[in-house]
Amino acid sequence: MSAPPRPVSWRRLLGAELRWVLRRPRTWVMVALLGAVPVLMAVGLVLADGPRRGLLSEVVGNGLTLPVAALTLLMALLLPLVVTVAAADAIAGEAQHGTLRGLLLAPVGRLRLVAMKAFGVLVVAAVAVAVVCVVGLVAGWALIGPPAVVGDGGALLTMSGSVLDLTSAAGRIALAALWTLGQLAAVGAVALAVSSFTEHPLVVLSSVLGGIILSGVLGAIPALEPIRPFLLTDSWAAGVDVLRDPLPTAGLVSSTGLAAGWFAAAAVVLVSRMLRRDA
């Protein structure tokens, strides 16, 4: 009697998923488009006059705020779109092309397969956020101007009128990036859960993005105020709080807790579906 096949190691699983995700041309096309947004924002701010700058007026002469402004703007739709596409390809896309069957039959284990796919989606989200931040810093420095030294070495003028030093400013940008990544992880978990129920990536895209748009509409209706605290998108504007001083943590903490709740609920649905899915 032959011995059962040995399970594939975590290193091989995650390495294979990482190579598969990063070799897809559409991943880098979407990331490149995201990277173009901070550049276009910087160019627009340089060319626009005062009255037309609107909410982005805080960035004028204060280039270090550009990454946070770009993340806040992109969080409305484009960053969730990139993560949703990755999640749709991860399960529904492979089911459509017939490759998911091989993974389900392989000595991998359903839970390990779920973790592998979640890892790939999280990598895409992390790359997208990192590109926006790095390009935003470079564009803000080059087009809007380097951080002006104010007072005792201050480099970032906050929305509250106080000045932060360069180290504190970098910490605020990193905090905004980590907060955004947490919100995108929740979106990715929901998209993976939807993806596990279909073989058509477009169904995942339309469902998740439609849900995001619907959530925004529901949050704008006064009569539905009681459900607003449970809408994932309702707290997506909290990221801009990192530009205030002292740092208000209530919005960041509550939005992170809400994202964790959505992530956990979606993870339960995803795991339950994948454990029962026929090969």
Q: For residue 201, give the 3-state DSSP assignment.
A: helix
Tokens 């960053």 locate to 79
pLDDT at site 243: 87
Q: Dump the DSSP string for 48-112.
A: S-GGGTGGGGGGTT-GGGHHHHHHHHHTTTHHHHHHHHHHHIIIIIHHHHTHHHHHHHSTT-HHH
pLDDT (tens digit, 9 = 90+) per residue, 121-150?
Answer: 999 999 999 999 999 989 888 877 655 544
Report phi then psi at 146, rounded to 5.
Answer: -65, 160
The residues that bridge with 163 in the sheet, in sequence order, are 157
Q: Is residue 154's pLDDT more than 80?
A: no
Give this prediction's pTM.
0.88
Domain ranges of the chain: 10-276
Peptide bond into 246 cis (omega under 30): yes
pLDDT (tens digit, 9 = 90+) per residue, 52-87?
Answer: 555 555 555 577 788 998 999 999 999 999 999 999
Q: What type of residue is 69? A: A
Give me the sign of the Cα torsion angle 210, 211, 216, 218. Answer: positive
Residue 90 and residue 96: Cα distance in Å, rounded? 11
Q: Is residue 261's pLDDT more than 60?
A: yes
pLDDT at site 105: 58
Question: Which segment of 11-20, 88-97, 125-134, 142-151 scores lowest on mean pLDDT?
Answer: 142-151
